[in-house]
Amino acid sequence: MFRLNRRTDYAIRILIQLARRPERIKASELSALTGVPAPYAHKIIRDLVRGGLLWTASGPEGGTGLARPAEEISLLDIAEAMEGPIQLNFCRMGPTPCEYPDSDSCPVHPVLEKLNQDIQAELSQTSLVQLLANMNG
């Protein structure tokens, strides 16, 4: 079964909350707003900072915020920051079809390649702003 993992779901929740407010928000507040356990929220925020989607500031006036405008952050950006490149199965890891024992290449590769491209296209076309609109509309 293909699905985004729980960390990615939590990352989307955190990013949506940050997109709703222009001010910085502390990780503990994000945890309360999203239902993401605080220790887990800290780890997810760290990964989103590494992925270039968030910034953080420490200290009493610290917090976190979006590193780019919400309309420039796509679901693909989030998924790849949390999970790496989107791949439907292991044979998709290379740029050429895998070797298949009974033929020159895997007969499933073209199908998986198309599905992978479709998924990436859909995720890249969906921004945080669109997700917010879906919540309010």
Looking at the predicted structure, is the pLDDT value of residue 2 above 70?
no
pLDDT at position 9:
94
For the entire predicted model, the pTM comes to 0.84
In three-state form (DSSP H/G/I as H, E/B as E, the rest C), the secondary structure along the chain is CCCCCHHHHHHHHHHHHHHHCCCCECHHHHHHHHCCCHHHHHHHHHHHHHCCCEEEECCCCCEEEECCCHHHCEHHHHHHHHHCCCCCCHHHHCCCCCCECCECCCCCHHHHHHHHHHHHHHHHCCEHHHHHHHHHC
The domains of the chain, with CATH numbers, are 6-136 (1.10.10.10)
Q: Give the pLDDT of residue 1.
A: 41
Question: Quick one: average pLDDT of 51-72?
Answer: 94
